[in-house]
Amino acid sequence: MELNNEIALDEQRPSKLDSLELLDINDGLLQAEMRKVRCPRCKEFYELDTVMPIEYCPTCTNQREAQVQHIRDLIRDNKGINAMDLASKTGIPITFIMNVMRDGEIEIRKNNPL
């Protein structure tokens, strides 16, 4: 009788193939969780990936990253520059520069060693 119980337990365990199929199904579900949202910057719709969400559409995200890099380059090349000077040299709004600083993406030091 004990032998029958062991066989019954083995039949309930998932096989390796079952686990692979479950992974494929889960991957499909993750990809299916896309929804259309409006970009707060350009107001265009884009598909938001709920697994790896980004704040802006891909175009605005690329533009924002380019602006942040431009600010970093100016800070590196102009020791001691302040946020107001950055805004006037780049044409980037001071509010954007201050938000990027607040979020810790850039840092302006008095004795800027960059």
Output the 3-class SS for the chain: CHHHHHHHHHHHCCCHHHHHHHHHHHHHHHHHCEEEEECCCCCCEEEEECCCCCCCCHHHHHHHHHHHHHHHHHHHHCCCCCHHHHHHHHCCCHHHHHHHHHCCCCCCCCCCCC
pLDDT in tens, 46-103: 888 777 778 889 999 999 999 999 999 999 998 888 999 999 999 999 999 999 999 8
- Domain presence at residue 9: no
Co-location of 69 and 87 in the same domain: yes
pLDDT in tens, 17-61: 343 343 444 554 444 467 888 999 999 998 887 777 788 899 999
pTM: 0.60
Range of the domain at 66: 58-102
Co-location of 92 and 69 in the same domain: yes
Q: Which amino acid is at 48?
A: L
- Domain presence at residue 34: yes
pLDDT of residue 100: 92
Q: Which amino acid is at 54?
A: I
Q: For the chain, how big is the Rg over CA atoms in Å?
A: 26
Number of domains in the chain: 2
Co-location of 62 and 48 in the same domain: no
- Domain presence at residue 36: yes
